A = this chain, B = another copy of it.
Amino acid sequence: MSTQERVVSADDHVIEPGDVWQSRAPQALKERAPRIVETEEGDFWEIAGKRRPISGLAAVAGRKAEEFSAKAARFGEMRPGCYDPDARLEDMDLDGVDVEILFGTLPGPAGNAFVGIAEEDAELAAFCARAYNDWLVEDFCAAAPDRLVAQAVLPLWDAEGAAAELERAVDAGHRGALFPALPHAIGLPPMGHEHWVPLFRAAEDTGVPLAFHIGGSLARKVASELIGAESAGDHLAAETVVATAPLSNYGALANVIFSGALERHPGLRVVSVESGIGWIPYFLERMDHTWERHRFWTGSDLTRRPSEYFQEQVFATFISDDAGVAALDRIGVDNVMWEADYPHSDTTWPHSRKVIAESFGELDAAHRAAIVGGNAIRVFGLDGAGGS
């Protein structure tokens, strides 16, 4: 396979087995550290005395749509590729995917599960992030470091600590870290706050991007507040969340651009993960219009059009998005990355090569290669990764 044809999926997930934290916890934290509890309703993580289900929708690889369920999954019923790196590599081979960019499950799409316990137990929360980062590179990605690429979880409540953890994680092999699309929504300072300066500087210095994965700080708001589905019944809630969660990441784009974070940190790069791309041409145009026509009365901090920050510092991933592929000239072919989203409910596995052929069949080879691999290799700095 030539370099041009390496397939990098820019967003996939591991499901952490119970010993990730138990095997690393010092005695004083063992009782509070995450463990797996098997129940008749499925498997749960217990963390600081509270139970969190492993959503069945997070482990559907290999199931038919008719069998999807949001009920708690069981490790015994999911594909071993969810939690076992050797099985994962086999599943990647089956699917024709050379490299995966790996996010977690228990930490939440923005590390928000640990943010949620930091106020009451900062020691436990910091341990949870660190142990996750260690496990991911030492026990999972180590099976094939050129094919399994880790994204770190940071102690976001502690700005200097988050910067230090990012540096430590990158030294250990991580190639990026999670960041909440709307930090204020999970109790953290807003995106434009000086709290974030040390972390954004560390991201510039290490050269890895920060990832705004959908769902991290938006899913609850989309479900219960914006769409109001909670008041309209469960199945409407479910449909609206599934349909709107990706697009809702426009809030992340507006936030990171209008807050001036990208202006003040020209080396900072961010990835809008699983957001889709087809809505981006519209939104770039709208943000530019806002700056061109309204910046006088709003008192904008920006010195350039919003789309210029996007072109240089923002990237977005998508699974299948015909509208976006048709509008690539308005987004920037270098700003988008394909993803398989293994093992989640929207995954293309095990048909990724078929989806790629259908989605990009009319693109020229260089553009196709950029979208299915080249861009991710550049954005995540995977110069030695993948290939066969």
Contact = CB atoms under 8 A, between A and B. Distances in A.
Given A227-B251, A250-B244, A294-B345, A235 B301 contact: yes
Contacts of A242: 290, 294, 298
A127 interface: no
Contacts of A293: 65, 68, 345-346
A225 interface: yes
Interface in A229-278: 231-236, 238-240, 242-244, 246-248, 250-251, 254-255, 258-259, 276-278
Interface stretch (A13-21, A183-191, A334-342): A183-191
B285 A243 contact: no
Contacts of A83: none
Contact of A286 (B236, B246, B254, B281): B246
Interface residues of A, number: 77
Given A68-B296, A240-B258, A190 B327 contact: no
A191 B254 contact: no
Interface string A81-93: 0000000000000
Nearest to A278: B282
B283 A281 contact: no
A364 interface: no
A53 interface: no
A332 to B, nearest CB: 13
22 contacts: A57-B297, A66-B296, A182-B227, A184-B228, A192-B232, A192-B236, A221-B226, A225-B225, A226-B251, A227-B251, A228-B255, A232-B259, A235-B301, A239-B254, A239-B290, A240-B255, A242-B290, A278-B281, A278-B285, A279-B279, A281-B326, A285-B322
